[in-house]
Amino acid sequence: MYSLLPVLSVFSRILVAFSSAFLVPLAWGWFLDADHHTFIWAKGFAITLASGLLLWWATRRHRRELMPKDGFMLVNLVWLVLPTYAAVPLMFTVPDITWTKAYFEAMSALTATGATALSGLDDLPVSANVWRCFLQLIGGLGIMLLVVAVLPLLGLGGLQLYKAETPGPMKDTKFTPRIAETARGLWGVYFLFSGACFLAYRWAGMDWADAFMHMCTTMGLGGFSSHDASLGHFNSPAIEWVAVVFMALAGISFMRYFIVLRSRSLRPLTSDREIRTYFAVLLGSIALIAMLLLAHSVYDDLFEALRASAFHVLSLATTTGYAATDYSLWPVFAPVLLLFLGSFVSCAGSTGGGIKMVRMILLIKQARRELVRIIHPRVVNPVTLGGAVIPMSVMTAVLGFMLIYGATIMGLTMVLLFTGLDIVTAFSAVVATVNNIGPGLGAVGPAGNFGGLHPFQIWVLTFAMLLGRLELLTVLVLFTAHFWRK
């Protein structure tokens, strides 16, 4: 019989660590909230801390090295339970919010999706907006990487968690002898970039609170904002270009930055096939949409067309989800292309969602390989990446992932269509949540939100966000009979 007690023992420590996150909105609220909601955040801190300590006391005797099965269980437990604790303060700080919307908002924040069910963001307490945005900073790179960094101190192995949480197909690659050192290095790079982004937003004209919140959601590629109009509220070219630069940087693997700092050479970036393809697709898409906007007289000035195109291509392609204008009113090719880009452009190891650029490259190479084999059946033509031959086990995993990805998109879309949702809203909402993009099209486009959906539809999309953040297989493996066999 499979026992959850060792997993719960580790989870108790995660819960204790997560309780400290409540101190961030508490501090901002103390100075900036007109109604001083500090008691709510202090209570959230106390309840979460007490829950963690009680769970630790109850399971303190059940400690052992985590097995792969335990890693998958722990990751799913974290991403299902932490949003529950994160949602509770929203019930007391956001007017007229339901539990369904509060949990959806918390899940969207921790998965760095950026799909919101709330309106009237400009009138919310500062602490509530800070909480929503700060959760995206935590969830962006993956809260489990932070846990992996401290697990060795608790006498527990972290490799299984790293493999379950790390996005992309190359999960067995380690960049330092100890996985905890890798995790600490990744977070160090993450916070270094975050500090630079924070100061850049402040320099561009945001106040300190807005600069902090938008730094969190830019580096986490989550896209939450403290304003209903998103970055369009500021109507500032400087702010938009700061966002473009840091969204582009956050869309690249933080592992590569870590290697650059260790090797003191830019070669790991400039020689990486995935990164080169990433920038090629971004630049090509920016030019294409800019020409489309000029051709349809959406903008008459080339610079304005490039500004709008660059901002929204980076925002949607990196799965951030900011909006500076209602791009759903552009020629239909543009918003559909933007949604499509969000499905694959982000690099593996970045804070973005989607299937990741490296998988798309491998799929294209595999397709080309099959075309060559049709003409030359005996030719030896292995799939390579960066000069290295990709093992068949990796290719099989990529093809299996894509099969499940397509089935998930189709299945969840059919569920929403069954509830009476129109095809544009249903399909785009599923694509936007499974890929952690944020806004979709139709009723859930950049000018709307997910708040108008039926509670059942919201729960379906909440599950879609969880699937996308954990790359489908980590969640779906729990539904297999083999997983529960001893």
What is the reported pLDDT for 268? 85
Nearest to 296 by CA among 305, 287, 308, 283: 305
In 3D space, the residue among 64, 59, 62 whose CA is nearest the CA of residue 16 turns out to be 59
pLDDT in tens, 396-417: 888 998 999 999 999 999 999 9
Are 384 and 390 contacting, i.e. CB atoms less than 8 angstroms apart?
yes
Return the SS3 of 388: strand
Angle at 330 between CA 292 and CA 351, to 5 degrees: 90
Q: Which residues contact 38 (CB under 8 A, 6 or more apart)?
A: 26, 29, 30, 127
348: alpha, beta or left? (left if phi > 0; alpha if psi -120 to 50) = beta
Contact criterion met (CB below 8 Å) for 247 and 320: yes
pLDDT tens sequence across 316-347: 999 999 999 999 999 999 999 999 999 999 99
Q: Looking at residue 151, what is its pLDDT? A: 46
> Which tokens hold the place of 341?
């880009």
CB-based contact 307:329 (threshold 8 Å): no
Region of 295 (left: φ > 0; alpha: ψ -120 to 50; beta: rest) is alpha
In angstroms, the CA 465 to CA 110 distance is 10
In this predicted model, what pLDDT tens digit does every residue of 126-183 receive, in sequence order?
A: 999 999 999 999 988 776 565 554 444 444 455 555 556 566 665 555 555 566 677 7
DSSP 8-class letter at 330: S
Work out the average pLDDT over 241-250: 97
- Can you tell me the distance from the alpha carbon of 265 to that of 313, in angstroms, rounded to the nearest whole number? 29
The distance of Cα 189 from the centroid of its chain, to the nearest Å, equals 17
With bands split at pLDDT 50, 70 and 90, how would you rate the model's confidence at 40?
very high
**pLDDT tens profile 451-463:** 999 999 999 999 9
Which residue has 């007109």 as its token pair?
A: 34
Residue pointed to by tokens 């397709």: 367
Mean pLDDT score, 240-256? 94
How many other β-carbons are positioned within 10 Å of the β-carbon of residue 9? 21
- Neighbouring CB atoms inside 10 A of 481's CB total 6
Written as six digits, the tokens of 226 are 């403290």
> Is pLDDT at 249 greater than 90 in this prediction?
yes
C-beta of residue 136 within 8 angstroms of C-beta of residue 216: yes
Check residue 271 and give its pLDDT. Answer: 87
Average pLDDT along the chain: 89
Q: Is residue 86 a contact partner of residue 106, using CB atoms and an 8 Å limit?
A: yes
Average pLDDT over residues 66-79: 83
Contact criterion met (CB below 8 Å) for 17 and 147: yes
383 falls in which pLDDT band (50, 70, 90)?
A: confident
385 bridge partner residues? 388
Give the pLDDT score at 150.
44
67 and 160 Cβ atoms separated by less than 8 Å: yes
User: Which burial class, exposed, middle or buried, applies to 484 when counting CB atoms under 10 A from its CB (0-12, 13-18, 19+)?
Assistant: exposed
Q: What is the pLDDT of residues 302-318, one digit of tens each?
A: 999 999 999 999 999 99
Tell which residue, 453, 452, 454, 475, has the closest CA to residue 463. 475
355 SS3 class? coil
Strands, DSSP E only, in 236-295? none
Tell me if 72 sits within 8 A of 476, measured CB to CB: no
Q: Is the pLDDT of residue 75 over 60?
A: yes
Q: Give the number of other CB atoms < 10 A from CB of residue 253.
A: 28
Whole-angstrom distance, CA of residue 351 vs CA of residue 231: 20
Top-confidence residue, 70 or 437: 437
C-alpha dihedral, 7 to 11 to 12 to 15, nearest 10°: -170
| Other Cβ atoms closer than 10 A to 120 | 10
Question: Residue 175: what pLDDT?
Answer: 57
pLDDT of amino acid 156: 45
| Helix residue ranges, H only, 111-223 | 126-141, 143-150, 159-165, 179-204, 208-219
Strands in 289-445 per DSSP E:
384-385, 388-389
Q: Which of 116, 309, 140, 107 is nearest to 221 (CA)?
A: 140
Per the DSSP assignment, residues forming a β-bridge with 384 are 389
Mean pLDDT of all residues in 425-441: 96
Q: Determine whether 209 is exposed, middle or buried from the number of CB atoms within 10 Å of its CB (0-12, 13-18, 19+).
A: middle
Q: What would the two tokens of residue 101 be?
A: 């919307």
3-state secondary structure of 418: helix
